[in-house]
């Protein structure tokens, strides 16, 4: 599955649309559509999208341990 497909699924699960994400990013709908179509994502994008959807981005291991991934800005506040 492409990352953009996962982003679309996360948005759907959260009851949000691509246009909502574009507004959150301060981008036009066309710019966000290009990002989705081109599957152009950085780690910090995925963290922001997870937060926007009310979720966490994480590594989940077979033993059940979880490492949550957060933005650098969030870590500096602690």
Question: What pLDDT is attached to residue 4?
Answer: 97
Count up the domains in the chain and report the number. Answer: 1
Domain extent at residue 54: 3-76
Both structure tokens of 71: 């933005």
Question: What pLDDT is attached to residue 78?
Answer: 45
Query: The pTM is what?
Result: 0.83
Show pLDDT as tens, one digit a residue, over the chain (78 residues).
799 999 999 999 999 999 999 999 999 999 999 999 999 999 999 999 999 999 999 999 999 999 999 987 655 444
Q: What is the DSSP string of 8-76?
A: HHHHHHTT--HHHHHHHHT--HHHHHHHHHHT---HHHHHHHHHHTT--EEEE-TTS-EEEE--HHHHH
Question: What pLDDT is attached to residue 74?
Answer: 52
Tell me, what CATH number does 30's domain have?
Answer: 1.10.260
Q: Report the alpha-carbon distance of residue 77 to residue 27 in Å, rounded.
A: 27
SS3 state of residue 78: coil
């Amino acid at each position: 599955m492409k990352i953009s497909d996962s982003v679309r699924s996360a948005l759907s699960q959260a009851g949000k649309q691509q246009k909502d994400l574009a507004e959150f990013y301060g981008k036009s709908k066309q710019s966000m559509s290009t990002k989705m179509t081109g599957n152009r994502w950085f780690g910090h994008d995925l963290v922001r999208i997870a937060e926007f959807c009310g979720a966490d981005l994480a590594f989940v291991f077979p033993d059940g341990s979880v490492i949550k991934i957060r933005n650098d800005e969030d870590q500096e506040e602690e």
